[in-house]
Chains A and B, each alone.
Chain A
Amino acid sequence: MTPTEFLVLTRGPLFDIAVTIFVFGIVLRLFEVLILGRKADLAAARGAEFKPGMATVMRRFVPDREKLQGSPVVTILGYLFHVGFFVCLLLFVPHIELIHSTLGISWPGLPTAMIDAVAVITMLALVGLFINRLNSKLLRFLSTFEDYFLLVVVFLTLFTGYLAFHRIVEPYPTALALHLLSVELMLVIFPFTKLMHTFTAFLGRYYNGAMYGRRGVES
């Protein structure tokens, strides 16, 4: 297979398959969670559900002081990684192009030099998180194969993107195809692994906030 054929394959059929599985899985999991619902609360409501629910979704974006002091490495690197990953994903011009071509929506991107710097920081944060997981007795005890595997998969998407952008792997079609392939791997496993927290985290936060709100507790 020539590099161009490899690229055409990853840009075409493989990408289709990955996106189909991704969307299928996400919708499946979300419906499952939503339909299952929660146990009806028979007590009289003391407060609203919706507003406190949304407030909790937003509030938990702000780092928690206790957590910051308890596990500073995970908190700081975790924030760096998450912000960095979304900056790279959503503000890099070729990514915006991809979204524009499929969903028809578009927004301005960041200068590529800035994306480059953010990508490096994001990758370093991931490496830091990986090392931390190996070093901490508690985390090592709690970690399963999936935890390490997901770190590697997410790192690969960033790393292959970095290689493609800087043309470290030659020729360019191979580099771009490798990047696409790693993204496709992530898309396929996404709904069926902990990566799903991208969506369920917000559901969880909302349920939490709504529950407390209904009971009239400030969350």
Chain B
Amino acid sequence: MSDHNTLGEILRERGVSRRGFLKFCTATASMMALPPTMTMAVAEALEKAPRPSVIWLSFQECTGCTESLTRSHAPTIESLIFDHVSLDYHHTLQAASGDAAEAAREEAMHAHHGKYLLVVDGSIPLGDPGFSTIAGISNLDMLKETAEGAAAIIAVGTCAAFGGLPHAAPNPTGAVSVSDIIKDKPIVNVSGCPPIPSVITGVLAHFLTFGGLPELDQYGRPMVFFGQSIHDRCYRRPFYDKGLFAETFDDEGARKGWCLYRLGCKGPMTYNACATMKWNQGTSWPIESGHGCLGCSEPDFWDAGGFYKALSIPTSDLAGAIGTGLGVGAAVGIAAGAMAHKKKTDAEHEREPLTVEQLEGES
């Protein structure tokens, strides 16, 4: 396939009608969380979208992100997008292996220097380069080398975006995120453990459609997907506002679908699109299936003080603190009070009454 083909041309070659193309654009706009009025703008842009080369690097990861993507929501749309991008290197998905695979990466890097899109999943160990290598190249070296000629980098998953599970205390491998290493390239963080598949493809589609990266939040995440907290978009929010909570996973509140805040839901601190895009082909999402949000799209979510503790609850032994305060306070208070009392009575005893005679004698 020629590199000069636009997406519009490729679709027409495949016999996709104009209606089919518009339907594709509708679904793509929906996937990018754009308002439906943008469908025509998407159509116009996709019509002319060139075919980008994509290099996908996997470092300290569990392949969950790739699994999420390949089991995604709208196979037709995703496959069209993936047919359209030229996925030149992905060591889990590609047929080639060994030297041939590495050669493909090098070739793509040289042929599309400055133009290819780099996708990374997994964190990078700084502790010892030997913790994770591909074809004898350390993750750090491979990332630096490949990022050098990339137009932009998409860090897929919480590991690549923020260090993720490998970064959790005590971080034995010295794992860091892509943005900890690469400072001079535009980076989009698509966090989540794993990210919602449509969010991954949505960012790709955005790059395809508009040739650039979407608007990002302070963590480098696309605003359209991470702009609102789980809590603000949660269908159980009215129960929170009314103060109706499930206390355990099998009580009446749990059955009636009340708010899971008390069971440790991290919805209020978590920014992601689960509440609207959902999982498993739009079937459900964690809170809808009765479990609180773990906060997997946030930095350090593993170390945020326990998955089953409500967010406003102190993480430590408060009863002990109160007990200590009470005990010591009472003891010191009694002592101080007794001392003050003694001082007062002593003063009373030692006081020498002044008589009228004395006063008169003084004057």
Contacts and interface: CB of A to CB of B under 8 A. Distances in A.
A11 B218 CA distance: 23
A102 B329 contact: no
Contacts of A102: 313-314, 318-319, 322
B314 A35 contact: no
Given A24-B325, A94-B312, A113 B241 contact: yes
Interface residues of B, number: 48
B336 A28 contact: yes
B262 interface: yes
Interface string B319-333: 111101110111011
Contacts, number: 151
Contact of A96 (B243, B317, B337): B243
Contact of B229 (A25, A36, A172): A172
A117 to B, nearest CB: 13
A93 B315 contact: no
Contact of B312 (A8, A28, A32, A97): A97
Given A93-B240, A172-B268, A2 B311 contact: no
A35 B330 contact: no
Nearest to B162: A2
Interface of A: 2-5, 7-8, 11-13, 15-17, 19-37, 93-98, 100-102, 108-113, 167, 170-173, 176
Interface of B: 217-219, 229, 240-243, 261-262, 268-269, 271, 298-301, 303-305, 310-322, 324-326, 328-330, 332-334, 336-338, 340-341, 344
24 contacts: A2-B300, A4-B303, A7-B305, A11-B316, A15-B314, A23-B321, A24-B328, A29-B333, A31-B333, A31-B336, A31-B337, A32-B337, A93-B240, A95-B312, A97-B262, A98-B312, A101-B310, A102-B313, A108-B243, A111-B242, A112-B241, A170-B217, A170-B218, A173-B298
